[in-house]
Each structure stands twice: as C-alpha cells, then as structure tokens.
Chains A and B, each alone.
Chain A
Amino acid sequence: MFKIVNAQFIAPGIKRFVINAPRIARKQRPGQFVIVRVNETGERIPLTIERSDPESGTVNIVVQSIGKTTHLLNSLETGDSILDIVGPLGKPSEITNFGTVVVMGGGVGTAMAYPTAAAMKRAGNRVISILGGRNKDLVILENEMRGVSDTVFVTTDDGSYADKGLVTDKLRQLIENGTRIDLVLAVGPIPMMRAVADMTRKERIRTLVSLNPIMIDGTGMCGGCRVLVEGKSEFACVDGPEFDAHRVDFAVLVQRNAMYRDAERRSMEAFKRECELEKRKAAEPADEVACALEGK
C-alpha cells in the first residue's frame, strides 16, 4: 500500500498526487515512469512521474481522467492509499550538454517532459520549452517549466490563452527564424508527436518522443508495449519509453492503443452507473459526493 500524502487537481480532470514511495523516490531519473494498480480488481497502467523527493521519500504523479482507472484514481484524496506502485521503470533520458534543446509538452505530456527539461537545464543546455493544450485549463506546469527554461512559449488550440495554434506552429517559427536546435523532446498526444517528427525529419534535427503504449508488467516480460521501430519490434518498457521519433511507426502505435477501446468503453459506462448509484444512495448534494466524474 502506498499512502497519498497530498492530492490536488491542477487542472480540470488532471490531478497531482504526492505519494509516499521511498524506494522509487530514491531511484527515479528523468524520463522514467511508474506502473500503478489502484485496487484488487484493478488493471495495471503506466503513469508519469512529475518529480520525486528522495529526502521525504515521495514521488509526484500526474493523472488525467480518461478511462475508468484514471477516473478511479482521481477520486482518491489525501490520506487514501494506492494498492501497488512499481518503478521507476524504463530507461532514463540521456542527459548531456547537447546545446539547445527544445522541450515540447502537449497537455498532460508536460508532466513527463518537466523532469527531463530540468535536468537538461542543469546539464548546461539552453532550454526552449513549448507548452500546449486544447484550452487554457489544459496547459499545465507552466510555472515549473518557466523555472527550468530559458524561453517558454505557450499555445492553445482555441486561443483561450497565450497564442492560438499548435505547439508545432511555434516549432516551425523557431526553425524558420534560423534558431539552432540540437535536440527536440516531444511528449504529448500521438498526433502531436507525429507532427513534430514529420517537421524535424526534414530539418534533420534529432528528435525524441516518450511513448505511452498499453503495458502490463513494465519489465519486458509481456511484450504488450511493443512499438514498431523501423520495422523491428521494441519494448517501450525496457527499450524506451523514449524513442528516436524519426524511426517510430506512429500508425501502428495508434492502432495498438485502440485495441481495447470497446472494453474500455464498457468499463467506463459500468463505472459511471456505479457512481450514479452511489450518488443516489448517499442522498447528498451531488457536488459533495466523492465521484471524480465531475472533474471538479
């Protein structure tokens, strides 16, 4: 059991948990992730480590409500516990002085990019960060990213905050302005990472993406997280999660991530019904019921 020391929504449907996990806190390096199982009947899902504190023995994970498991997680509060957390998993990011590094975070992907951006800055890189979200609420960790970047650009799809547009629009501007870029790290939704890869491939800029395929054990045992890299199967949990963006087959990644869409929908609908029942049973004003479906 892993105790939740603190739990707070940082955006609608996105919650940050500070969890007591001393072993993981001691070992976590930028680029790594954890696998979580909420309860006895739960599935195992990979989640982002935003940061860790070896002194206090805590790790921060950031969770966006998407399916049943993430909704269930986000219904947990300070003082609750999570049954299983295992990690840190995956290869850490390669941190060295590349020169100028552009770190791109799309939505909740920024949480994964943040520790690597911070480490890149400490390694002497010039860090240019580009953060994006569908709207103002979904741009997360802006202050944290400002603290570790030389320059920060923010875009929103709907223009509700900062510049209207996509993160790739900013990247194009940087390239067109003749900014020297030695490395791009992009973490976010697959279409965003694919668009970044397409753009930098032409410019021959080394580009890494952090992938989040379906996983079970996270130790290389099951092979479920295999991604097609230049025609060859590689495992995101042991060979990744970071891959050379120009070699990844994004179409296969999209296809494999959709493998359980029907089952996921069934799970989610059943969960909603359960929450409705609980609400009625509680006979309390709806907003006081511990059901994260509302997203707060």
Chain B
Amino acid sequence: MPTTPPKTTPAKTAPTKKSSNPVPNKERIKMPRQHMPEQPPLVRAKQFTEVNLGYSAELARQEALRCLECAKPTCTRDCPVGVKVKDFVQLIVEGDYLGAAAKIREDNVLPAITGRVCPQEDHCEGACLLCKKGESLGIGYLERFVADYEQQHFDVTKIVKAPPTGKKVAIVGSGPSGLTAAGDLVQKGHQVHVFEALHEVGGVLVYGIPEFRLPKTIIRQQVDYMRAMGVEFETDVVVGRTVTIDELLEDEGYDAVFIGTGAGLPQFMGIPGEHLNGVYSANEFLTRINLMHAYEFPKYDEPMVDFRGKNVAVIGGGNTALDAIRSALRLGAGKAFILYRRSEAEMPARIEEIKHAKQEGIEFQVLAAPLEFLDDGKGWLRAARCQKMELGEPDASGRRRPVPIEGSEYEIPLTVAVIAIGTTANPIVQTTTPGLATTKRGYIQADETTQKTSRKGVFAGGDIVTGGATVILAMGAGRRAAKSIDEYLTTGQWDQ
C-alpha cells in the first residue's frame, strides 16, 4: 500500500502514541539479541540455498520487544533511505506485520533485499543505543521477517496507484538505485520505464550477489511488486548503444532520465599472468555463477573452469570477494582462501559475511598480495607468487597502508584466481551523452543532494557517481534523485 498510509499508524498521532511494548525499558536492555537461524556451516558450504533461514514470528516478537523506542531514533537518522525503524518495530510487537511492511515501504521499496544484504552495522544497527549495553537491535533481521511475511501474505492487486501526472521518466539500469528511484516515482503518479542491459532485472542484485545470500526468487518477487505498482521494465537495452539518453529525451518523449548504471569495468591488478586461463575478474566469476547459472552446468549452458578439489583464491577483502570465494567453495573447491593485503580489521566486507565465511572453512591469508600469476606452460594458471605485507601509516582512506616485506615472497599453487579489487567507471553512457560532465576518473558528476547532472532533466546516482559502494547507499541516491525528479517534473525548474 505505497500510496495510502495504513490505518494502523496514522501519521498525526504517531508521536503521542502509547507504546504497546509491555516490557519496561530497564528489562529490554537485559534481553539478549535473538540469533538468526541458519543452515549448519558444513551443510550450506556444499549448496547454494540461502544461509540465513529467517526469524519465526515468535523470534521476531522477542527481538522487537528489545527496541528502546528512542525519542530521537538514531537508527532512522543513520539509514540512507530513512526507514522509520521504531514505528515498524512497534507494529511487529503489535502483530501487525503487513502494517509494519507498509511502514517500511514508505521509505524503502526493496525491504526483502535490504533485510538481507544491507551492512546494518554501518548504519541503523551501528547507531542503535543498545550497542552501548550489548548487542544492537536486529533491525535487518526484523526487516527481512516483515518483508518475507509481506511477500507471502500481501495481495499486490490491492495496491492503490496514484493518479497519473502524465510525466514520463526513464530509469537506466535496474539495480538498487534504479529500482528505488522507480518505486518512489511511480508512487507520485509518474509513468516509469526501467531499461536493463542484461536479460534479467536487478542489476548487481542478480549478477553480483549469490543465491545463498540473496535468492533470485526474492528479487523477482520484489520486482513483481514493482510491476504491480505500475513500473514498466524493458530488458536487453544497453542505453548508450541500443538507444541514447538524447533519443530518450527527444524521440521517446521522456521528461526526465535517471542514470543508475552501476559499478562498471572490473579492475585488474596489472601484474604478469593476468590473462592466463583460470584468472577471472570477480564480476565475470560471479556473473557466470549467479546470472548464468554455471553452477548448474550442463543443465544451463554457460560453463565454468572445473576446479573441484583444487585451490581457489580470491584477491580482495570486500563483500564481492567473500561472495566469490564462498561460491567457489560451494562449487567444490578443495581449498578456498582469501588473499587480502591489509589485516582483517581493514576488510570492508560485512561482519556477518566474514563470520559465515570462516564457519564454512574459508581460509583468510591476510597481509599478503600476489605479485605474479604463474603459467603451467600451456596457458593455464599454475600458482601465484605472493608477497607478505605489514601495516604502515594510514592512507587517504584512513585505513593503515600495506607495506611489502622484503624477501617474503612465497608461492601458492592455484587452479583459479579471482580478482575482486574493485571497478572503474563504465564509459558507455558518458561517451554517448554530449555535455554530461564526468569526474577525472570517468564517473558521472551529480549533485550530492539533488543527484542532478550537468544535463537538464538528467539525474544520476549509485556506483556510477560514487564508484563501488553498497546497495543501501545506491538506494539512498535513488531516493534523493526521485525526490528532485518529482520536483523538477512538478515545477519545471532546473536550478543547478
């Protein structure tokens, strides 16, 4: 019910509403955080089904009762899309799960996705006052519970659509920022058409994040919900190639365009042997598995190098690196390890993913980096020659800089190496859109508040503006863009 606030929580009375939580505040602090039920590590390490199993209604209620219901909720303040955590958690206490879902949807159109992949420790849960006394409220787990309940019980035909404004918006890319902008804009009554380059809607959610962390059925359900809201999707369109931004504005009658094309070209390390067979970019490795179902070869046609029983290493310490190495383990790697040049403390990955990876038997070789990939004489990867590192002074990112240790070189035999050290800007849209200003590194320049680009009527957000970041930060940009697109469409004003 995106356009009509649910009756259970009329906005006017919300601030004065009496808490329905029977537990006194002092007691709530003492209640332990409810653990997320998960598949046993050694079972899940052999299959792609989801690791986390989800809260039961009972667990969700127990967890929801821990919320301190702060007068000025820091969780909402630190949420990039501003989810009203306190309100939806209280609705869980009341047992009104659909009401809770509707409350989340006022700010977040992808709750089943963020409930699974958002780095909550950096946002809502990191800001939760309960952290000071122990463990934060399980906001992500609660969001997931509510979203999954909604997917099973909410009838999407009951969605009330806003009256049409007659304005058309094109969204370029169906990843987190594009979907968020699309959801917000369609609720304002604009006609929203989403273009996707690949054959499936979801962008990085589909090609990047593995099934065991974010099942494809969940993404499809969230997208189907958006279809029911009135959002149109068109796959197999590479904007910049199949149609340009200018053609969308001039020939196809769009009044505004949002560019959310995402993290672009995979970065390689520039070390010898990167072209050997068996060396992958994380994007390719994950795309083969996630989008193309290489783990179901030969039922699906897309192949993957057979590394069953062999060594696989992923270079990098982010979520992508962990997704790749945990996928390799599930595909039967004999030994699967992470090679990261800093220490574990500097790893950008979500804490839960690191924990899960370790439980499953992933080995972490930190403070080490490859210098060269070695050939078996037939063009295939045989080993990596690595070097040990120590931590020096902090660098521009604030993290301690890795410094090579002289004479520490060593060799590890490898069948597959996956490079997960980040991406650079994909140039397709920028080079085919005259007058679209870019940064030195090729990303699109967009205002941090309005997401406006240098071109009138064109907005941009997500990784194509910031460089590789997280799902929720991209969603935040999509929200800000939707707000200013709506203002632009309503007023016709374009002030830089």
Q: Do A and B come from one complex?
A: yes
Which residue numbers of A lie inside 8 Å of B, CB to CB? 23-24, 27, 37, 41-44, 68-69, 83-89, 216-224, 226, 228, 233, 235, 238, 249, 252, 255-256, 258-260, 262-264, 266-267, 270
CB distance from A47 to the nearest CB of B (A): 14
**Is the C-beta of B448 less than 8 angstroms from some C-beta in chain A?**
no
Given A252-B275, A260-B303: A221 in contact with B287 (beta carbons within 8 A) = yes
A267 adjacent to B298 (CB under 8 Å): yes
Which of A233, A260, A264 is B274 in contact with, Cβ under 8 Å?
A233
Closest B residue to A67 by beta carbon equals B301
* Contacts of B314-370 to chain A: CB distance below 8 A: none
B238 adjacent to A44 (CB under 8 Å): no
Given A41-B293, A217-B287, A238-B265: A88 in contact with B301 (beta carbons within 8 A) = no
B199 adjacent to A83 (CB under 8 Å): yes
User: Can you spell out 13 A-B residue pairs with CB atoms less than 8 angstroms apart?
Assistant: A27-B242, A41-B293, A41-B299, A43-B292, A44-B199, A84-B199, A216-B302, A221-B266, A238-B428, A252-B275, A255-B277, A255-B378, A263-B306
Instruction: Report A-chain residues with C-beta under 8 Å of the C-beta of B265.
Output: 220-221, 223, 235, 238
A220 adjacent to B236 (CB under 8 Å): no
Please measure, in the bound complex, the distance between the C-alpha atom of A63 and the C-alpha atom of B416, giving whole angstroms: 32
Please measure, in the bound complex, the distance between the C-alpha atom of A255 and the C-alpha atom of B273, giving whole angstroms: 13
A222 adjacent to B199 (CB under 8 Å): no
Closest A residue to B278 by beta carbon equals A259
B287 adjacent to A23 (CB under 8 Å): no
Given A85-B236, A223-B281, A233-B275: A259 in contact with B298 (beta carbons within 8 A) = no
Which of A68, A87, A235 is B241 in contact with, Cβ under 8 Å?
A87
Instruction: Report A-chain residues with C-beta under 8 Å of the C-beta of B264.
Output: 220-221
Closest B residue to A83 by beta carbon equals B199
A223 adjacent to B266 (CB under 8 Å): yes
Please measure, in the bound complex, the distance between the C-alpha atom of A141 and the C-alpha atom of B242, giving whole angstroms: 27
Please measure, in the bound complex, the distance between the C-alpha atom of A220 and the C-alpha atom of B431, giving whole angstroms: 14
Contact count A vs B, C-beta below 8 Å = 124
B303 adjacent to A267 (CB under 8 Å): yes
CB distance from A239 to the nearest CB of B (A): 10
* Contacts of B255-290 to chain A: CB distance below 8 A: 264-266, 268, 274-275, 277, 280-281, 283-284, 287-288
Which of A218, A222, A238, A258 is B283 in contact with, Cβ under 8 Å?
A222
**Is the C-beta of B95 less than 8 angstroms from some C-beta in chain A?**
no
Given A84-B236, A221-B264, A226-B275: A216 in contact with B301 (beta carbons within 8 A) = no
Which of B199, B277, B301 is A256 in contact with, Cβ under 8 Å?
B277
Which of A42, A85, A221, A228 is B426 in contact with, Cβ under 8 Å?
A221
Sort chain B's interface into a size bin. Answer: 35 or more
Please measure, in the bound complex, the distance between the C-alpha atom of A218 and the C-alpha atom of B426, giving whole angstroms: 12
Please measure, in the bound complex, the distance between the C-alpha atom of A89 and the C-alpha atom of B238, giving whole angstroms: 8
B199 adjacent to A219 (CB under 8 Å): no
Beyond the given A41-B293, A233-B274, please list 16 additional residue pairs across the A-B interface where CB-CB is below 8 A. A23-B242, A41-B300, A86-B236, A86-B237, A87-B241, A220-B264, A221-B266, A222-B283, A223-B266, A223-B283, A224-B280, A256-B379, A259-B277, A260-B305, A262-B306, A263-B306
* Contacts of B210-241 to chain A: CB distance below 8 A: 235-238, 241
A-B residue pairs, 4 tightest by C-beta: A263-B303, A255-B379, A222-B284, A223-B281
Instruction: Report B-chain residues with C-beta under 8 Å of the C-beta of A256.
Output: 275, 277, 379
Given A43-B292, A43-B301: A224 in contact with B284 (beta carbons within 8 A) = yes
Name the residue among B197, B288, B303 with the largest chain A CB count within 10 angstroms.
B303
Please measure, in the bound complex, the distance between the C-alpha atom of A84 and the C-alpha atom of B200, giving whole angstroms: 10
Name the residue among B197, B238, B301, B426 with the largest chain A CB count within 10 angstroms.
B301
Closest B residue to A215 by beta carbon equals B284
Which of A238, A249, A266 is B427 in contact with, Cβ under 8 Å?
A238
**Is the C-beta of B198 less than 8 angstroms from some C-beta in chain A?**
yes
CB distance from B198 to the nearest CB of A (A): 6
Closest B residue to A39 by beta carbon equals B301
**Is the C-beta of B297 less than 8 angstroms from some C-beta in chain A?**
yes
CB distance from B461 to the nearest CB of A (A): 18
CB distance from B297 to the nearest CB of A (A): 7
CB distance from B196 to the nearest CB of A (A): 10
CB distance from A163 to the nearest CB of B (A): 35
Closest A residue to B272 by beta carbon equals A231
**Is the C-beta of B469 less than 8 angstroms from some C-beta in chain A?**
no
Which of A43, A87, A233, A249 is B238 in contact with, Cβ under 8 Å?
A87
**Is the C-beta of B243 less than 8 angstroms from some C-beta in chain A?**
yes
Please measure, in the bound complex, the distance between the C-alpha atom of A255 and the C-alpha atom of B283, giving whole angstroms: 21
Instruction: Report B-chain residues with C-beta under 8 Å of the C-beta of A89.
Output: 238, 241
